[in-house]
Amino acid sequence: MLAKPPFMDDWKKIQEQLKNFRDERDWAQFHNGKDLALALSIEAAELNELFLWKNADDANVEKIKDELADVLGYALLLADKYDLDINQIMMSKIQKNADKYPVHKAKGNAKKYNEL
């Protein structure tokens, strides 16, 4: 039997890169939870601006790459800040959403769970 290969998972690799970037600039002092969340929402707005006044799929894909990367960057820094296991929180949330949106009620409509 082969030994388990020496890989870190993807999130952690990117988180390490983001933290190196941050620490080279001595920016951890600014990265409290509130400002990281605020930064994330500002980047989300920049992502939305790519779609403003346009049909749903007319945004510039190269710019989407940049803005989505910014959103993900702050999301990963937040996860690191609170020492969250991303795979775990994702699987847990998908399970919660499965309970809120049972297939037989939610299939084919986009109503919010409290209106189903």
Site for a second copy in 3-22 (CB under 8 A): 4-5, 7, 9-11, 13-14, 17-18, 21
- The footprint of a second copy on residues 67-96 (CB under 8 A) is 68-73, 75, 78-79, 82, 84, 86-87, 89-94, 96
Name the minimum Å distance from CB 83 to a second copy.
Answer: 9
- The footprint of a second copy on residues 38-67 (CB under 8 A) is 38-42, 44-57, 59, 61, 64-66
> Measured between alpha carbons, how far is residue 54 from residues 48, 51, 84, 100 in Å?
11, 5, 36, 32
Task: Look up tokens 């998972």; give the residue.
Answer: 9
1 binds a second copy (CB under 8 A): no
The whole-angstrom distance between residue 53's C-alpha and the CA centroid of its chain comes to: 25
Which are the contacts of 63, defined by CB distance < 8 A and separation ≥ 6? 50
Largest separation between any pair of C-alpha atoms in the chain: 57
Question: How many chain residues touch a second copy (CB under 8 A)?
Answer: 75
